Structure 1
């Protein structure tokens, strides 16, 4: 993982400010353009995240989360701790997706009333559209006919670009998984410390501390007890011994499988040895 330096934060601040200023200017000039909008989160998902955060030792107040600045303050308190990647990911899952729209509702996550994408025209088409509109304004060639044409076209363009962004993110996720599998294939049998990032009825996922790799500890490999999924606390719990595997727990695992077809890495707990099938319950 790359360290996030002060210089990175400075550049990021400049980019955010540029996007805000361009959006404000185009609104002032009464020019239609694509806003980058982010709706408020679902209260139920925030309540669910609050339970996760509390279990990890980080009190979270959903009622205060209506203010984006509270979320930023909360994340700053988690920054630097081992649980930070898990907490950030879980909070992100609680948020709604940001999309492109010709209708402005503000950007909740950034606490911005007006926001667009402007800073990356060589790799994002929405930014290029914004550049073209701004260029027309600065050249004095943005007449009423062009404004009307833009206003008619932007709703469909915004929907299309939001859809393609989702497809691109899925492709990126798949490429990362492929690289993770190839990386771990050369490290089968080795042991690593990791943090439980999510729990499911079929097992729990572990994100390694040393490398950006996530893998599954299948419930079938937990042979010391019969484990069931506790939906309320989102953990795996042993039926007889009561042992729990919860999000944020630090575990020591061994890489046992790297499946290229499934794009999946499998781990087992070191204390349990290699995974083996559980005996049938009588």
Structure 2
């Protein structure tokens, strides 16, 4: 815990390794991921925290094309011995603003990508209402549990009203829903079977319920 608080990136690897193969693996992974700050572009080198690297750069998908171009030009200037050239001096003057704009546009692009994926998944499951699927609890809130399906990784909501005829309280420390009458617990990483109850394509929303069992 002290190493995590001190910002030791290798402590994260040790926690994940110790949790591997246990019932707490999913919870540990989810909590550590949520604890990380979102990556942003910076005008100065701070290395890569998670990798523990003092210098780091990578090139990726088209939504980050302009940041890639900035790095490409800097590398070309360096290889040509023109680090202090007019073009690079001009870039350096506006680099803080460029980094801020690129970080902002990347967040917008990521949000649009997530929303479009949710809509397409909702379209897929619009024809599967009533079908039983296997998945894992990927999140818990006061209003219900989110379930990620094994087959497609589509995520939907299993609302508390679908969990049974009892009151469920939200345990914020454990990020779990607890039934006050039976003590039934819904937690991150829990395996579950759900039935597709309904779909709202425009909102990219999938709702689940528990499958009917004989005697229920």
Q: Does structure 1 residue 63 correspond to structure 2 residue 12?
A: no
> What CA distance in whole angstroms lies between the structure 2 residues aligned with 1:100 and 1:118?
13
Unaligned runs of 5+ in 2: none
Q: Which residue does 1:248 correspond to in 2?
A: 189
Q: Secondary structure at the match of 1:100?
A: coil
SS at match of 1:236: strand
Residue segments in structure 1 that go unaligned for 5+ positions in a row: 1-61, 274-282
Q: When the two structures are aligned, how many residues end up with a matched partner?
A: 212
| 1:122 and 1:128 in contact (8 A); partners too | no
1:231 is displaced (CA, Å) by 2.2
1:174 maps to: 115
Secondary structure in 2 matching 1:124: helix
Aligned to 1:214: 155
State the shift of 1:239 in Å: 2.0
- 1:87-121 CA-to-partner distances (Å, cap 9, x unmatched) read 53432211011110112333211211122334668
Per the alignment, in what secondary structure is the counterpart of residue 179 of structure 1? helix
C-alpha offsets along residues 116-154 of structure 1, whole Å, 9 cap, x if unaligned? Answer: 334668952111111111112323444344443222110
Q: Which residue of 1 aligns with 2:166?
A: 225
CA distance in structure 1 between the aligned counterparts of 2:46 and 2:25, rounded to whole angstroms: 30
Indicate the RMSD between aligned Cα atoms, in angstroms: 2.6
Displacement of 1:67: 2.5
Distance 2:63 2:111 in 1: 21
* Residue 150 (str. 1) matches residue 84 (str. 2): no
TM-score between the two structures when normalised by the length of structure 2:
0.85
Bigger mean CA offset, 221-230 vs 155-164: 221-230
**How far 1:77 sits from its partner (Å)?**
5.3
Question: 1:128 maps to which residue?
Answer: 69
With normalisation by structure 1, the TM-score equals 0.67
Matched with 1:161 is 102
